[in-house]
Amino acid sequence: MAKAKSWLEPHPGGLYVKPADLWIDPSRPVERAAVTHGHADHARSGHGAVFATAETLAIMALRYGVDAAASHNQAFEYGDGFERGGVRFSFHPAGHVLGSAQILMEYRGERIVITGDYKRRPDPTCAPFEVVPCDIFITEATFGLPVFRHPPTEDEIAKLIGAVRAEPDRAVLVGAYALGKAQRVIAELRAAGWDAPIYIHGALEKMCQLYAVHGVDLGDLRFVGEADKAEMAGQIVLAPPSALNDRWSRRLPDPVTAMASGWMRVRQRARQRMVELPLVISDHADWDELTTTIAEVNPKESWITHGSEEGLLRWCELHQRKARALHLVGRDLEEEA
Ligand SMILES: [Zn+2]
Ligand SMILES: [Zn+2]
């Protein structure tokens, strides 16, 4: 085992950086937390001080009322960071959602990177993942099994547009998580040339506004409540997954139910949610992205967490790469894949 064990302690509730007396993505309120990104399984409310990118802090302000302007909370640009207890912390793009960061820690000549959640394919709504050389690489493994290979995003977007055009009397209702996935689906639709208004559920409004304020152009967004039922025929509507089979959807003209998630690769999951049009669009690295990333970062050791640890652990063994599984609790895999 590398010497890191003495200064970085994995606990079920998060990673504790001993010399800095600081936690990374802790699952319970702590005095000092560095947070990789705004999803609920990483960003919690109630911390004394939060260290994060400016975007993540803005997201935490929106979701939990964290006071982003308070002096004990600190916002950083990518590449930037702070020092505490002799440990140098810096934030680097993770390509997962707006503001998502990998955190690099440097202490007594040793470099440890914790990825938080990440992906490698392009995403018009956030900065691309950066390879940060390190001794210990702590990687997520949500889709850490060879069965998970996400198709090209453009193909899934083309499928969505094709479905709307095939049935102009119906609306296509896409379930997408409120932070990240919804804005990415909208931005990908715009990139594919879909410039009609896109209708959104009220629960997506504030996060879409936050993205727009941070320079992500989402085009003409309208509320479902503001339009006549008939007006929404032949249109794309986005809602949080919980609204898919809800009474709310009755205000749409005979909606085709779609869902954008990496889990849509598993037919049974699509069936469970009564999804007619599964769209395999994920904000997490698939199997190839995970293995390619470990090879590119080429650390002395990988610590694997947040998902299918065993599959990736096996891959590391087969490729003579030192690795171990970290079992952190409170990671909700359904939440935002
Ligand atoms: Zn996440
Ligand atoms: Zn996560």
CA distance linking residue 321 with residue 301, whole number of Å: 7
Residue labelled with tokens 């249109």: 235
Backbone CA torsion sign across 292, 293, 299, 301: negative
- Please give the distance, rounded to the nearest whole angstrom, from the Cα atom of residue 216 to the centre of ligand 1: 19
Rg (CA), the chain: 20
- Please give the distance, rounded to the nearest whole angstrom, from the Cα atom of residue 318 to the centre of ligand 1: 28
- Please give the distance, rounded to the nearest whole angstrom, from the Cα atom of residue 232 to the centre of ligand 1: 31
- Please give the distance, rounded to the nearest whole angstrom, from the Cα atom of residue 251 to the centre of ligand 2: 32
- Please give the average pLDDT of every successive group of 10 residues along the chain, which has 337 residues: 73 93 96 97 95 98 91 96 98 98 97 98 98 97 95 98 97 97 98 98 97 97 92 97 92 96 92 94 98 98 91 96 84 55
* Bridge-based pairing state of the strands 81-84 and 74-76: unpaired
- Please give the distance, rounded to the nearest whole angstrom, from the Cα atom of residue 118 to the centre of ligand 1: 8
The domains located in the chain, with CATH, are 4-147+284-336 (3.60.15.10), 153-279 (3.40.50)
Q: Which ligand is nearest to the CA of 100?
A: 1
The pLDDT, as a whole number, for residue 68 is 85
The pLDDT, as a whole number, for residue 332 is 54
| pTM, full prediction | 0.95
The pLDDT, as a whole number, for residue 1 is 45
The pLDDT, as a whole number, for residue 5 is 65
For 6, the token pair is: 């003495």
Angle of helix 205-213 versus helix 181-191 axis, rounded to 10: 60
Answer yes or no: are the C-beta atoms of 110 and 254 closer than 8 Å: no
Q: Which ligand is nearest to the CA of 177?
A: 1
**DSSP assignment letter at 255:** P
The pLDDT, as a whole number, for residue 330 is 57
- Please give the distance, rounded to the nearest whole angstrom, from the Cα atom of residue 83 to the centre of ligand 2: 25
The pLDDT, as a whole number, for residue 307 is 85
For 312, the token pair is: 């990736």
The pLDDT, as a whole number, for residue 81 is 98
The pLDDT, as a whole number, for residue 335 is 53
- Please give the distance, rounded to the nearest whole angstrom, from the Cα atom of residue 280 to the centre of ligand 1: 16
Give the distance from CA 154 to its chain's centroid: 19
- Please give the distance, rounded to the nearest whole angstrom, from the Cα atom of residue 133 to the centre of ligand 1: 22
Answer yes or no: are the C-beta atoms of 81 and 113 closer than 8 Å: no
